[in-house]
Amino acid sequence: MEQKISSVRRVAEIDTGEEIYIATTADMVLFERRTVSGNTIETVSGNNVKADSIPQDASSVLARVNQERKAIGLPELIWDSELAVAAEVRAKEIATVFSHIRPDGSDWWTVNEKVVYGENLAKGYHSAEEAMKAWMASPEHKDNILYPGFAKIGIAVYKSEGQWYWAQEFGY
């Protein structure tokens, strides 16, 4: 059954010039590596999407995270699709209850206990730069960003009623 893509956003660029995007349908989230040619994105699955319609909030945070890590000699974090899905869930959840405890009362890592080993949350910051400044000013959040053991990350921003909710999920 063919599904209409409801949204697409760029989440990372890799050294080969390819980019990673998240595309969502009514029922699922798809992750694809794409090559950009002009204003059209050619995907692995053959979908074509207009590049100028893709928000870059998550990719901006990823770039800033990796800039901070590189500045102290740490390897860059790699975008992880499972962590990105967990970040999407958490960003939406914190719009209801801003806490590392989930709205159902369970711990934050239960969003996907197979891959999630660290979490940073933020709200009220209207740019990647603002959110990153806040995280880097907080010792606990900064520790997650600069923890040498983490190798992967997923990032999401959820915008609701003029408020922005950010989630970073970290893994090994």
Q: What is the pLDDT of residues 39-74, one digit of tens each?
A: 444 443 343 433 333 247 888 899 899 999 999 999
Q: What is the pLDDT of residue 26?
A: 46
Q: Is the pLDDT of residue 105 over 60?
A: yes
- Give 133's pLDDT tier (boundaries 50, 70, 90): very high
Average pLDDT over residues 90-98: 94
pLDDT more than 70, % of the chain: 68
Phi, psi for residue 147 in degrees, rounded to 5 = -70, 120
pLDDT in tens, 4-17: 444 455 554 444 45
The candidate with the shortest Cα–Cα distance to 99, out of 89, 112, 90, 86, is 90
**pTM exceeds cut of 0.85:** no
Q: What is the pLDDT of residue 89?
A: 93
Phi, psi for residue 70 in degrees, rounded to 5 = -65, -35
CA distance 24 to 50: 15
Average pLDDT over residues 168-172: 96
Q: Is the pLDDT of residue 32 over 80?
A: no
Average pLDDT over residues 163-172: 95
The amino acid occupying position 93 is E
